Structure 1
Amino acid sequence: MVHTIYPTKRFRPHRWRKYEDHWRFTVGRDPLKRLFSAYTDREVARRELYNSRLLRKQKVLPLDPDPDFFFQNLEGYMAQASVVKHHVLPAWLFIGPAPLRYDAVYKTSQIDALAEKLSALTGETVEIPRFNSTRTRLAFDDLAPETRDALRTFLAVDYEHLAGYYKNPML
């Protein structure tokens, strides 16, 4: 629903220039939690891998992978399923290169503070509802050592890019 009203777009410098005199903000999510959500929400809860024509046609990547197989083969799933690719691409593609040029950067855990700031700026009450609360939980320690290594490598760029906002829990 939120993405219908405010679609996610990749950062483009030419789009940025026309808003230089505006108050600019972004909301970032912890990279590991974002990847876990791509699996638990998109694959386990919604079973969206079944919607990928390319995945259904091939025989190498299962449509119901366990988390270890999914993350160890993440690049294959990205190549075969756009829903996976969109949810695991690096954050810098959407929020721009470092240094971030925002007046404020909010973590997803700070959504209430963002609503308060937007309310103060607009003089209107702003409420930001929460969506996609997945019941399935996944922890880094639940994964096989090979999977943890694959995630460390895959997320290194994101954690470096967001170092001022998120501490890499995999170090």
Structure 2
Amino acid sequence: MDHMCKSVRLHTKMIRVEAHKIAYMALPKAACSSVKKALAMIDPAVDVESLPETKYEYDKWHSVYPTQKFRTYRWQRNIEKDWFGFAVVRDPVKRLMACYTNRVVERGELKNSRNLKNGTYNLPVEPDPDFFFQNIDTYRKAASSIKHHAMHTWLFTGPDLSVFTKVYTTEKMADLVRDVQDWTNAPFEIGRENTSSMRLTLDDLKPETVKALTPWLCLEYGFLINHYSKRPAQLQAF
């Protein structure tokens, strides 16, 4: 595991397991609930049994390890050696679709938006996927939860993924499990937290909706070119 011992620049709000010298930069809708729970289970600083109950079971892991946006000055100021620092990224289409299926449909979070309740933004709180994605920029302004879960990857990971010891895709979580087990010489398991029961793909959206999302998605695929080199065929048409 010598390759894991390169210097890792750590964000002050990066999730850290001091006992094992592990650091994790969480990305919303990229298995972060599952990874946070797994880390909490091996973190001696977390008393899992005493955590308060939450409406959604997986929310407790976010109370232990809040997800924070990247800040350049913190990143540059905090450098640790001999830590295993990692991030998990997700296919941009799947991550964006999950923002709708999980936050809008399953959790109904638009109903709690003060800006929508008071009429600051005249938008439905139960939009169909086409209306939601065609108006996603306004929904981001109207609801902080949507903004948080539909922001570009680099706003959470930072602009340079090479600073991490390893970057995993959600399709390669088994590799993360193996590497953390090797690093800690202890059991480490990642389950599936906060999974959406509803599935949504670009094929389910109208062509004009896909066209509206294409600029945002192309920026994401450009940033993640080393991890998701093949863009969906639907994006090639625009």
State the TM-score, normalized to the length of structure 1: 0.92
- Taking the aligned partners of 1:111 and 1:86, their CA distance within structure 2 comes to 23
- Taking the aligned partners of 1:168 and 1:92, their CA distance within structure 2 comes to 18
State the partner residue of 1:40.
101
State the partner residue of 2:231.
168
Q: Among residues 193, 198, 206, which one is paired with 1:131 in the alignment?
A: 193
Range with bigger deviation, 99-108 or 84-93: 99-108
State the partner residue of 2:13.
none
- Taking the aligned partners of 2:187 and 2:73, their CA distance within structure 1 comes to 31
Range with bigger deviation, 70-79 or 134-143: 134-143
State the partner residue of 1:110.
172
- Taking the aligned partners of 1:29 and 1:60, their CA distance within structure 2 comes to 32
Structure 1 residue 6 corresponds to structure 2 residue 65: yes
Residue 48 of structure 1 and its aligned partner are, at CA, apart by 0.8
CA pair 100-61 structure 1, distance change in 2 beyond 3 A: farther
RMSD: 1.6
Flag the structure with higher strand content. 2
Unaligned runs of 5+ residues in structure 1 are: none
- Taking the aligned partners of 1:128 and 1:2, their CA distance within structure 2 comes to 13
State the TM-score, normalized to the length of structure 2: 0.68
Residue 108 of structure 1 and its aligned partner are, at CA, apart by 1.2
| Partner deviation per Cα, 1:17-65 (whole Å, 9 max, x = no partner) | 3224422211001111111000001111111111111111226210010
Is the 8 Å Cα contact of residues 98 and 161 (structure 1) preserved in structure 2? no
Q: Among residues 59, 73, 80, which one is paired with 2:135 in the alignment?
A: 73
Residue 157 of structure 1 and its aligned partner are, at CA, apart by 1.4
| Partner deviation per Cα, 1:91-113 (whole Å, 9 max, x = no partner) | 00111113532121101122222
How many positions carry a matched residue from both structures?
A: 171
Unaligned runs of 5+ residues in structure 2 are: 1-59
Q: How many percent identity over aligned positions?
A: 44
Range with bigger deviation, 59-68 or 2-11: 2-11
State the partner residue of 2:113.
52
